[in-house]
């Protein structure tokens, strides 16, 4: 199997990567400029939020096109019993690999420049993901595991609804039906392409590569990378998405007034005497069913001694929308109103 073939083939692959790399950056800045022109809440975003918003369109484009591409390659390419290329490798395999390498390099730079939250973790993730594909594209001696590399790219399919989630959250719509639908779709696709698929591909790695006596040593780093990516997918499913699903189900089952059922659970919230008790921000954050019991409790607290207590900190039942809010930060409700 030859994908890079010779030095000229290596330069061809590098040229393809460079073209895709430039295209991703072009789309990034176009998205930035169009959003700045037409998104009314754009100025409320922090600089890293603007970069995150703009980069997610590229992420969605990459995920959509690469998912179609790898399915096409998996179906049309001839594979032997060991899940290796049988005969000549399709040029579409090379194009798909170059496309993803260009995307990972572009996104790596976005993370380094704008330092989006958890950027160090995702930089490591991108470097681990990059190595096996660069190895396949530029090394004539390590043309093994092409089927695994091709199918592993299908994990990107789950990022399409995940990006929709992120956009809705940036618009202040994290409590909407659309956000829950996007989360449900992400969770379902994650099970298929980031839990079951990696498990199958790791079986292929062990049964067709690692346990074979002729496995070249140059494949060892790529095999290690495959383990890291698979474990990362499983870890996120078990310790990020599943707890979030449980939390959403509990919230849904409690009903709109369940938030005030437990008076023992309280959360400190800053109160400003000069601010009106009832405003659009509170209405959008809490909703009618929760708002008025909270205001009633606030009035009782204020009037029990005829004035505000010495402490400016009042106690209220916990509410998810208040967690992590910082003084002076733009709330999701005002962002939603401005958008």
DSSP 144-205: --HHHHHHHGGGGGGHHHHHHHHHHHHTT-TTSHHHHHHHHHHHHHHIIIIIIHHHHHHHHH
pLDDT of residue 4: 45
Q: In angstroms, rounded to a whole number, what is the distance separating the alpha carbons of residues 189 and 164?
A: 14
Mean pLDDT of 10-15: 88
Inter-residue contact 234 to 198 (CB < 8 Å): yes
Four-CA torsion 234, 119, 121, 159, nearest 10 degrees: 20
At residue 99 the predicted structure's pLDDT band, cuts being 50, 70 and 90, is very high
- Higher pLDDT pick, 307 / 50: 50
Range name among 124-128, 179-183, 248-252 with the lowest pLDDT average = 248-252
Most confident of 91-100, 212-221, 286-295: 91-100
Q: State the residue for tokens 């009903």.
A: 255
Q: In angstroms, rounded to a whole number, what is the distance separating the alpha carbons of residues 327 and 202?
A: 47
Residue 224 has pLDDT above 70, yes or no: yes
Mean pLDDT of 126-134: 95
Instruction: Give the tens place of pLDDT for each residue, 24-36.
Output: 999 999 999 999 9
Instruction: Give the tens place of pLDDT for each residue, 258-277.
Output: 444 444 444 444 444 444 43
pLDDT of residue 336: 58
Output phi, psi for 227, to 5 deg: -65, -45
> Which helix (DSSP H) or strand (DSSP E) does residue 314 occupy?
strand 313-316
pLDDT of residue 270: 45
Rounded to two decimals, the pTM is: 0.75
- Higher pLDDT pick, 307 / 60: 60
pLDDT of residue 253: 59
Q: Collapsing DSSP states into helix, strand and coil, what is residue 330?
A: coil
Tokens of 325: 């809010």
Going by C-alpha positions, the residue among 199, 213, 189, 198 that lies closest to residue 152 is 198
In 213-287, alpha helices (H)? 220-236, 242-254, 280-286
Q: What percent of the chain has pLDDT over 70?
A: 71
pLDDT of residue 13: 93
Tokens of 32: 């930035």
Inter-residue contact 201 to 230 (CB < 8 Å): yes
170-207 b/e (C-beta count within 10 Å ≥ 16 → b):
bbbbbbeeebeebbebbbebbeebbbebbeebbebbee
For the chain, give the mean pLDDT. 80
- Higher pLDDT pick, 230 / 139: 230
Mean pLDDT of 223-234: 96
DSSP 45: S
Inter-residue contact 125 to 132 (CB < 8 Å): no
At residue 9 the predicted structure's pLDDT band, cuts being 50, 70 and 90, is low
Inter-residue contact 286 to 335 (CB < 8 Å): no
Residue 124 has pLDDT above 90, yes or no: yes
Residue 118 has pLDDT above 70, yes or no: yes
Range name among 42-46, 60-64, 141-145, 252-256 with the lowest pLDDT average = 252-256
Residue 197 has pLDDT above 60, yes or no: yes
Instruction: Give the tens place of pLDDT for each residue, 157-190.
Output: 999 999 999 999 999 999 999 999 999 999 999 9
pLDDT of residue 152: 97
> Which helix (DSSP H) or strand (DSSP E) does residue 335 occupy?
helix 332-338
pLDDT of residue 339: 63
């Amino acid at each position: 199997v030859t994908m890079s073939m010779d030095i000229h083939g290596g330069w061809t692959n590098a040229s393809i990567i460079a073209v895709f790399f430039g295209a991703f950056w072009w789309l990034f800045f176009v998205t930035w400029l169009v959003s700045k022109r037409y998104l009314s809440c754009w100025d409320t975003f922090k600089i890293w939020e603007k970069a995150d918003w703009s980069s997610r369109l590229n992420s969605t484009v990459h995920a959509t096109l690469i998912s179609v591409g790898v399915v096409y390659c998996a179906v049309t390419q001839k594979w032997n019993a060991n899940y290796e290329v049988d005969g000549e490798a399709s040029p579409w395999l090379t194009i798909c690999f170059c496309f993803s390498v260009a995307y990972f390099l572009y996104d790596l730079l976005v993370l380094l420049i704008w330092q989006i939250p958890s950027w160090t973790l995702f930089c490591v993730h991108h470097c681990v993901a990059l190595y096996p594909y660069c190895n396949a594209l530029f090394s004539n001696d390590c043309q093994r595991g092409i089927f695994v590399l091709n199918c592993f790219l299908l994990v990107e399919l789950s990022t399409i609804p995940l990006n929709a989630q992120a956009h809705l959250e940036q618009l202040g719509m994290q409590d909407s039906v659309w956000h829950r639908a996007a989360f449900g779709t992400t969770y379902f696709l994650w099970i298929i392409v980031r839990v079951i698929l990696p498990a199958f591909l790791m079986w292929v790695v062990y049964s067709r590569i690692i346990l074979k006596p002729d496995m070249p040593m140059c494949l060892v780093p790529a095999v290690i990378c495959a383990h890291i990516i698979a474990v990362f997918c499983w870890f996120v499913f078990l310790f990020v998405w599943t707890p979030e699903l449980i939390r959403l189900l509990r919230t849904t089952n409690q009903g709109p007034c369940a938030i005030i059922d437990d008076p023992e659970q309280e959360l400190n919230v800053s109160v400003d005497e000069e601010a009106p008790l009832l405003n659009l921000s509170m209405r959008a954050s809490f909703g009618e069913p929760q708002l008025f019991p909270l205001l009633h409790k606030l009035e009782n607290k204020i009037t029990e001694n005829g004035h505000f207590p010495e402490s400016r900190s009042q106690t209220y039942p916990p509410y998810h929308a208040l967690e992590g809010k910082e003084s002076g930060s733009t709330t999701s409700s005002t962002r939603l109103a401005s958008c």
